[in-house]
Structure 1
């Protein structure tokens, strides 16, 4: 594909989703040309200086083709799936083979091989694969999305989960996106760095329920389930075991203290304090 030589040497994945879309739009707003790597060109955002290219994480040939001439790759983790880690490995290997020099990867806070949150283990393994590839890297370890806290509430106004009295330092996707853009605009400054992206506060789910009640006018409460209750209450969804494990372990990771802790990295990268839950809820919701 000789025409690829005329395209930007910055590639962005995930632009049809929430976080990747924010990053792509913010880059376009500052005049940064980019390749948008998407599964469906028809869903790619129409942005000035952005060229959509179709690929699949699981298809090494398509990945190598669209990454030809790319120097910096923003890699949003693939959609949750049982084989997501293998998809990541395939894509990372293809990126290295295509000559990509630097990968900026959206990882997860507390990523470790023995993390309580099951998907954080996959993020750690992905980081290790990137390190082993020889490419430069920057890891954005995002805490739980602040945007998702309101979505934990059931139709009856109750947040249910085995989080106990643990705290979470949830961070907004907008803050994560601004951090990513800061890195992508001058990636050489961030080679080999891992950033922990958190909000400005550690809150229990009970406190989150109180804030949601105060800011939305809807009465929200928190019911701390046992682990057994959590599995039983989610059985009706018919999800595969790996998915249910991921759902439940989100809460047990909070209970274990693995979502706690505050980091200065959002402010350091963007010059702005991260949004709190109350601040997020005060914004116009699109």
Structure 2
């Protein structure tokens, strides 16, 4: 795809990888982010500071861009409106293509509350007058490790459900392929790992990697809310945490897709291989003094 590609969230876990891939291939890329100091380290020659909710700043930052890779904003009660502001600013700036980082099985009545936000954002993009592509992420493998407490307990109301978690590297590679390729207009791709694992299997994989006991402790909904009360997070945020597990229990996260292989030419990384190559992801589970 010819023309300047703008990448939002360019200092985040997906955006910075996409910027790096594009820059390494000599593609004109503009990195957008909220923090100018972090943007200074970007490999992109062109960087702009803008927040999604600031329509004027977004429009100015996207002026001259042909394609936009829109990484979803941080969770917030008004996230859909924030996304809509960014999309509208892109249209006003003349952007002619949007690739949006969405969520697996996004739907208006999805169990996972944040997945509903993604569906509404998709509908806003669909209503726009530009070609689009949606990349629907599963949960991230790194987050599964981070969700496990230092005492080796992975807890939540996931029941016996399964999740085909994916790596940030695989999603970024697929996004890069879409941004540089053709034939993706109107397509929705599911970004998943190669296997759907239960939380008991996830705990076992973490135990094998870390050389210590790690267990999955199923919770009821009430127990899940109670165990997270200590964080004193807003109600909407806690609901998002809890319903992410409930979506697994409901069978909404067990899809296994071949889309990453089809887009990149290589299979997505398994959870066991991810743990073997990314010990820092579970360093909080390693014995004291162990180097990760």
TM-score (norm 1): 0.94
Q: Does 1:211 pair with 2:174?
A: no
1:158 pairs, out of 147, 150, 153, with: 153
- The match for 1:19 is 14
Map of 1:4 onto structure 2: none
Of 238, 247, 267, 1:244 maps to 238
Q: Where do 5+ consecutive residues of structure 2 fail to align?
A: 281-292
Deviation at 1:10, TM superposition (A): 1.0
Distance 1:177 1:74, change over 3 A: same
Tell me the distance in 2 between the aligned counterparts of 1:191 and 1:204.
Answer: 34
Q: CA deviation at 1:155?
A: 2.1
Rounded to whole Å, the distance in 1 between the matches of 2:159 and 2:101 is 27
How far 1:109 sits from its partner (Å)? 0.2
How many residues align? The count is 278
Q: 2:36 aligns with which of 38, 41, 48?
A: 41
User: Is 1:194 the equivalent of 2:188?
Assistant: yes
Alpha-carbon RMSD across the aligned residues, in angstroms, is 1.2
Q: Is the alpha carbon distance of 1:153 and 1:258 closer, same or farther for their aligned partners in structure 2, counting shifts above 3 Å?
A: same
Residue 289 of structure 2 aligns with which residue?
A: none
Q: Which residue of 1 aligns with 2:266?
A: 272
Write the distance in 2 (CA, Å) between the matches of 1:32 and 1:285: 32
Choose from 77, 84, 100 the match for 2:72.
Answer: 77
Looking at structure 2, the residues matched to 144 and 23 of structure 1 have their Cα atoms a distance apart, in angstroms, of: 18
Residues 67 and 98, structure 1, Cα contact 8 Å, conserved in 2: yes
C-alpha change, 1:261 and 1:284, in structure 2 (3 Å) is closer
The answer (yes or no) to whether the contact 1:74–1:104 under 8 Å persists in 2 is yes
1:285 and 1:211, CA in 2 relative to 1: closer, same or farther beyond 3 A? closer
Q: CA deviation at 1:218?
A: 2.5
Structure 1 stretches of 5 or more lacking a match? 1-7
Q: Distance in 2 between matches of 1:68 and 1:24?
A: 18
Q: Give distance in 1, aligned partners of 2:253 and 2:278.
A: 27
Give the match for residue 228 of structure 2: 234
Deviates more, 1:108-117 or 1:88-97: 88-97
Cα deviation for residue 210 of structure 1 reads 0.5
User: Is the 8 Å Cα contact of residues 161 and 198 (structure 2) preserved in structure 1?
Assistant: yes
Which one of 253, 257, 263 corresponds to residue 263 of structure 1?
Answer: 257
Q: Does the 8 A contact of 1:16 with 1:45 survive in 2?
A: no
Whether 1:61 and 2:47 are equivalent positions in the alignment is no
Contact 1:28 1:47 in 2 (8 A): no
Does structure 1 retain, via aligned residues, the 8 Å contact 2:83–2:121?
yes
- State the 1:147 CA deviation: 1.3
Which stretches of structure 1, 4 residues or more, deviate above 2 A after TM superposition?
A: 45-50
- Normalised to the residue count of structure 2, the TM-score between the two structures is 0.93
Counterpart residue number, 2:86: 91
CA distance in 1, matches of 2:41, 2:147: 32
User: What is aligned with 2:284?
Assistant: none
Aligned to 1:223, the other structure's residue is in SS state: strand
